[in-house]
Amino acid sequence: MRRALVAILALAVWLMTPMERNAAKFESAVREAGNPRDQVERMLRAGIVLQPRQLVASAMARLCDADGGPTEVAYGGARGGGKSHWAIAQLTDDCQRYPGLKCLLLRKVGKANRENFQDLRTKILPGLRTNYNKTEGTLTFANGSVIKTGHFQNDRDIDAYLGLEYDVILIEEATTLTKSKVDDVLSCLRTSKPLWRPRAYFTTNPGNVGHAWFKARFIEPWRRGGESATRFVQATVNDNRFVNREYRGRLEGLTGWKRRAWLLGDWDIAAGQYYTTWRHGTHVRPDIGYGFAEPDWRVWLSLDYGFAHYTAAYLFTVDGDGTVYILDEHAQRGWLVDAHCEAITAMLERNRIARHRVETILAGGDVFKRESDGERVADDYERNGFRLERANMSRVDGAAEFLRRLGDVDRTPPLRPSLYISDHCSGLIDCIPGLMHDPRRGEDVKKVDCDDDGFGGDDYYDGARYGLMHVAQPAGSWGSSPIDDDWRG
């Protein structure tokens, strides 16, 4: 009976015309994405037939309607995934269903492309009557809803579009803008319309000046499966069957970081990435939990001190085979030494490491410098019971050691890593793949400070690098424990 049913179904599919088959595929993609019926029908009437990943992004956009739903949806993360097409399609969906909606569409274009929006909307919305005002750059719908198009090449061009209020803002190529500029734009997102939740949509590729904030805001929660205010829908050129052969050929011909970013949509890259052998799925080990270090493994701490910048402290161990594990991280800005010491003590306690097991606490040279009052930061630590020791600060040696220990899992045969990081070290995990080559000294990692919001700095890396260099020290070459046993943090 079941076999007969399958045979009948197969025959029915075979008898379908290609058009019917496409319609059936589309229906099943809509069901899977969970798009509301009215959304699909409205788009079809406008002449838009979205592809499966685009349908998912549009379904996510509708989640913004509900109280407690997301307010920001990002689509793409690689070249050619149909981002620009989706952007116009989604704004069209919103504009059609809410009369009088005001949308801002910020497009990244070269000067020559400024006028191309008109061609684009004729191509994407063939079935819809809209009125395009070239001078104003506005697309007006029959129900009074408007899309204002703005064009930018960099941060500076954005200011021309600030000051007005918008119900929806869509930023294309969002990583080409800094976080503070995006914040400026989003301050224009307000509504006085009943039953409308203001929302922002983004499309983008990895890399560029906005890589770090975008990754922190969208990619990390998506990877963790912990999205709340945001949703990210990944799409690469493989999700776009309309892309032409030449375009795909160009992407497939790319090498190195560009291939990883633009073809594969890999967020663990940045232009000139230093640690190209970093693989999140390999080096980050969620199984390195508290209590991971065996009682006979060596244990030590390292820290890079900062006040305006982060103080980043790491807890290390090494197993009998010489594999190093970074067990935990403490990173804070604007804290006084006492508070850091308390937090580091808490870190040891949650990892079930007794203080006397800590071989050493290595710190960068700045903590040993005398300040104008003759005091050293190291003295402050000492008063809290933490005796800091001078780390090997050679940047080039530290970078080489990091690189060596990451191995190369893509090589045949693979080169096994000898460094693993617990997923408790979120700052370091975020920082490593974003580190760049220093253009003036290729074998070094470029020094970068975090921005005003704390994104993009390398304090985590410096802190961990100091600790990593210690493993070369022979066991037993250190003196007594650097933390006073009687100190109660």
Ligand X SMILES: Nc1ncnc2c1ncn2[C@@H]1O[C@H](COP(=O)(O)OP(=O)(O)OP(=O)(O)O)[C@@H](O)[C@H]1O
Instruction: Specify the DSSP class assigned to residue 114.
Output: G
Residue 76's binding partner out of Mg ion, ligand X, none, with CB under 5 to 8 Å set by partner kind: ligand X
Say how far apart CA 149 and CA 168 lie, in whole Å.
12
Say how far apart CA 148 and CA 150 lie, in whole Å.
7
Contact positions toward Mg ion, by CB under 5 A?
83-84
Closest CA to 263 of 64, 78, 121: 78
Q: Which is nearer to ligand X, 80 or 207 (CB)?
A: 80
Give backbone dihedrals phi and psi of 471, rounded to 5 degrees, phi first: -65, -25
Minimal distance in Å, beta carbon 51 to ligand X? Answer: 5
* Neighbour-count burial of 445, counting CB atoms closer than 10 A to its CB (0-12 exposed, 13-18 middle, 19+ buried): buried
Q: Which is nearer to Mg ion, 82 or 137 (CB)?
A: 82
Minimal distance in Å, beta carbon 377 to ligand X? Answer: 47
Contact positions toward ligand X, by CB under 6 A?
49-51, 54, 76, 79-85, 205, 240, 242-243
Residue 421 β-bridge partners? 284, 326
Q: Which is nearer to Mg ion, 83 or 231 (CB)?
A: 83
Say which residues have a Cβ less than 8 Å from residue 63's Cβ, sequence separation at least 6: 69, 70, 73, 231
Residue 50's binding partner out of Mg ion, ligand X, none, with CB under 5 to 8 Å set by partner kind: ligand X
Q: Please name the helix (run of DSSP H) or strand (run of DSSP E) that holds residue 75, with its range, or none.
A: strand 72-76
Q: Which is nearer to ligand X, 84 or 345 (CB)?
A: 84
Q: Which is nearer to ligand X, 120 or 409 (CB)?
A: 120
Say how far apart CA 395 and CA 424 lie, in whole Å.
25
Q: Which residue has the tokens 């899992």?
A: 409
Minimal distance in Å, beta carbon 153 to Mg ion? Answer: 15
Residue nearest to Mg ion (CB): 84
Minimal distance in Å, beta carbon 77 to Mg ion? Answer: 12
Residue 243's binding partner out of ligand X, Mg ion, none, with CB under 5 to 8 Å set by partner kind: ligand X
Minimal distance in Å, beta carbon 173 to Mg ion? Answer: 7
Reported in sequence order, the residue ranges of 247-336 that DSSP labels E, i.e. its strands, are: 284-285, 298-304, 310-318, 324-333
Residue 271's binding partner out of Mg ion, ligand X, none, with CB under 5 to 8 Å set by partner kind: none
Minimal distance in Å, beta carbon 231 to ligand X? Answer: 17
Residue 189's binding partner out of ligand X, Mg ion, none, with CB under 5 to 8 Å set by partner kind: none
Q: Which is nearer to ligand X, 54 or 234 (CB)?
A: 54
